[in-house]
Amino acid sequence: MTKFVITIDGPGGCGKSTVARLLADRLGFTYVDTGAMYRAVTLQVMRANISFEDEERIVQIAKRTPITFKKQDNSVRVFIDSEDITEPIRTPELTSNVKHIAKITRVREVLVNKQKDMAQDGGVVMEGRDIGTVVAPNARFKFFLEADFKERVSRRYKELKTDNPSIDIKDVEKELAERDKSDYLRKTGPLKLAEDALKIDTTHMTIEEVVDYIEDYVMEKYSDKKNLWSA
Ligand code: DC
C-alpha cells in the first residue's frame, strides 16, 4: 500500500505550520516542520559560538545534529538527542539568524537528504519553502500558501505578542521583510511555486477554512477514506 506525500510551501506568516499540523492530524499523517530543522542547526551554531561565515564547521554541525520530532497532545515537539528544543528555536534572535544558515548550499544538501528520508515512506505532510520543488518533487499533492504582506505581519505580531507584550509591530514587519527577501532570493532552494502546486491565498481565510479546503481537495480525489492509502 502506498502512502503519499503532501507538501505545503509558502512564506513566513502565511499559516502553513498550523495548517500542516492540523491536516496531518486529520489524515493520520506525520507532520514534518522543515523550518525547525534549519532552526535546530542555527541553535547549535549559536551555542558553539561559530561564525556564520565558517561554512565547513556549520556543515559538520548540520551532519551530526540528530533532529527528531515527537507528537505530544496537540503539538509536535522538536528534539536534538533527548533535549527538547521546541522553545529555544523560536527566539527572535535565532529567527533572524536562520537566514545565514539556510543560504549555505551544503547545509541545505544535508538537510534536504534527511527530509527526503523522512518522506520516502509517505504518509507525511511536509512543510517549508522548497518541499514541492526540491525535497519531494514527485509528491502526490502540492500546496503553496500565500497571504498579503500586511496580513502576514499582523498574524506574526499576534503570535509573538503573547510571549512579548511590548513587541513593536514595526520590528515584526522589518523581520518578515528580511526573511521574505532571503527566502525568495536564495540561490539554492529559494521559495518558489512548484509548477504543479495549487496556490491558495489565505488572506481572508481562517486556519480552519484552509485546512477544510485542502482536506476536501485531497478527499475529492479519494472519495472513500478507507482507500486513502491504496490510491
Ligand atoms: O518556517 P520557519 O519560519 O520556521 O523557517 C525558518 C527559516 O528556515 C526560514 O527563515 C526559512 C528557512 N527554511 C528554509 O530555508 N527551507 C525550508 N524548507 C524551511 C525553512
Q: Is 128 in the pocket of ligand 1 (CB under 6 A)?
A: yes
Ligand 1 pocket, 130 CB below 6 A? yes
State in Å: Cα 129 to ligand 1 middle.
Answer: 6
State pLDDT tens for residues 189-211: 999 999 999 999 999 999 999 99
pTM of the model: 0.93
Which band of pLDDT confidence, cut at 50, 70 and 90, is reported for residue 231?
very low
Which residues lie below 8 Å from residue 113, measured CB to CB, with a gap of 6+? none
Tell me the CA–centroid distance for residue 156 and ligand 1, in Å. Answer: 15
Q: What is the pLDDT of residues 26-60, one digit of tens each?
A: 999 999 999 999 999 999 999 999 999 999 999 99
Model confidence at 182: pLDDT above 50? yes
- Which pLDDT belongs to residue 58? 98
The conformational region for residue 15 under phi > 0 = left, psi -120 to 50 = alpha, else beta, is left
| 41 C-beta closer than 6 A to ligand 1 | no
Q: Does ligand 1 come within 6 angstroms of the Cβ of 129?
A: yes
pLDDT tens digit string along 93-146?
Answer: 999 999 999 999 999 999 999 999 999 999 999 999 999 999 999 999 999 999
Of all protein residues, whose CA lies closest to atom 13 belonging to ligand 1? 35
Rounded to whole angstroms, the Cα distance separating 132 from 129 reads: 8
Q: 73 vs 126, which has greater pLDDT? A: 126
Q: How confident is the model at residue 3 (pLDDT cuts 50, 70, 90)?
A: confident
Ligand 1 in reach of 12 Cβ (< 6 A): yes
Ligand 1 contact, 86 CB (< 6 A): no
Cα separations (Å) of 182 from 5, 31, 51, 104? 26, 25, 19, 12
Question: For residue 223, what pLDDT band results from cuts at 50, 70 and 90?
Answer: low
Whether the predicted pLDDT of 73 surpasses 70: yes
